[in-house]
Structure 1
Amino acid sequence: MNDSDKGQNPSAGVDLARAALAAARARARELEQNRPLRGAAARRAGAQKRSGSRADDRDPQTLQATIGRLMAEHGWETPVAVGGVVHNWAEVVGERIAEHCAPVSFDEGVLTIQADSSAWAVEMRNLSPQLTSRLNESLPRTAEGGAVKRINVLGPARPRMGFGGFR
């Protein structure tokens, strides 16, 4: 039987086998290069960090430390602190003010509070510089200074009007 009888070229089969072997060897080299080093080779290469008696970031972390790190990474310290002030509003501003004024929102350094009467709204507008100072004493400092830059005072909620502004 000759080559023409088989319908194939024997040199083409050999070339195909050589190409497949070369591709397999290249893939093996690629896998070997990406494989993490182990044992003495890793220590020589400095690729593997060994655990020691000193604390490092691979040690178990407390929930408090993890939450603190997350707050710092995402810039949540001030909003969380303001939330604490809102929660303890009566302790921070005093019972008398807390009976008549409540915090509504805090956004970009502006604390909005709502008074239950027009008289208390005027009083809070007059007291806002002192209240801002008192609030900033209980809050962490920001890069720009105090966390609360300004206090916006809303008066009592107006009654809702019906259709066309008439009742």
Structure 2
Amino acid sequence: MTESHLGGIPETVATYLRLRGLEPSARTARRRKKRGDIDDDKMPFAPGRDPTGVGDVLADLTRQAGWDSQLAREDLVLQWEQVTGAETARHASPVALADGILTVQCDSTAWAKNLQLMRADIVTQLMRRFPDAGVQNVRFVGPDVPSWKWGPRAVPGRGPRDTYG
């Protein structure tokens, strides 16, 4: 039996190791060179091929579609109670957001006035929790009551006085 170039290993053992892929040969070196030309996206264990979560995919989709601000506004409305507290949320609710001003409808003028005093804290909370919503200021309004001064049947004068008292 002849000795191989592998330093004393019989040629039959060297052939066996080479055929089993345990010993590099000239053929495997050529395969490695060819494999370098293959696109890395098709390699199963290449970097960047890890699966991504559904939340990450949806976050990328909403960012690319430009939906972040609209979703942040809807989150603001849905989480209004966590921002202001349960008691305040029962008496005040957001009704509009335009030009960076959030309009909040209150049950009474007293609630509107008290919330105006707390405006800085509420705006800070909203800007911290929902930066994409674009809230810059909050406007608190009292309850909607019909106006007797305008309309097709309005007449000059004092009008009713004891209707809402």
Shorter-normalised TM range: 0.5 to 0.7
In the alignment, structure 1 segments of 5+ residues that lack a partner are: 1-42
Aligned pair partner of 2:154 in 138, 152, 165: 165
Aligned pair partner of 2:59 in 68, 71, 76: 68
Q: For the residues of structure 2 that align with 1:66 and 1:111, how far apart are their CA atoms?
A: 30
1:106 matched residue in structure 2: 97
Residues 29-82 of structure 1, C-alpha deviations (whole Å, 9 max, x = no match): xxxxxxxxxxxxxx9xx896651223658x876442232112212332233123
Runs (4+) off by over 4 Å: 46-50, 59-62
1:156 matched residue in structure 2: 143
In the alignment, structure 2 segments of 5+ residues that lack a partner are: 1-33, 160-165
Q: For the residues of structure 2 that align with 1:108 and 1:61, how far apart are their CA atoms?
A: 36
Question: How many pairs does the alignment contain?
Answer: 119
2:29 matched residue in structure 1: none
Residues 75-105 of structure 1, C-alpha deviations (whole Å, 9 max, x = no match): 3223312322311211210122112110112
2:118 matched residue in structure 1: 127
Does structure 1 conserve the Cα–Cα contact (< 8 Å) formed by 2:123 and 2:136?
yes
TM norm structure 1 = 0.56
- What does 1:40-119 align with in structure 2 at a 5 Å threshold? 50-52=41-43, 53-54=45-46, 56=48, 62-119=53-110
Percent identity at matched positions?
25
CA RMSD between the two structures: 3.2
Q: For the residues of structure 2 that align with 1:158 and 1:98, how far apart are their CA atoms?
A: 21
Q: For the residues of structure 2 that align with 1:54 and 1:113, how far apart are their CA atoms?
A: 53
Does structure 1 conserve the Cα–Cα contact (< 8 Å) formed by 2:83 and 2:122?
no
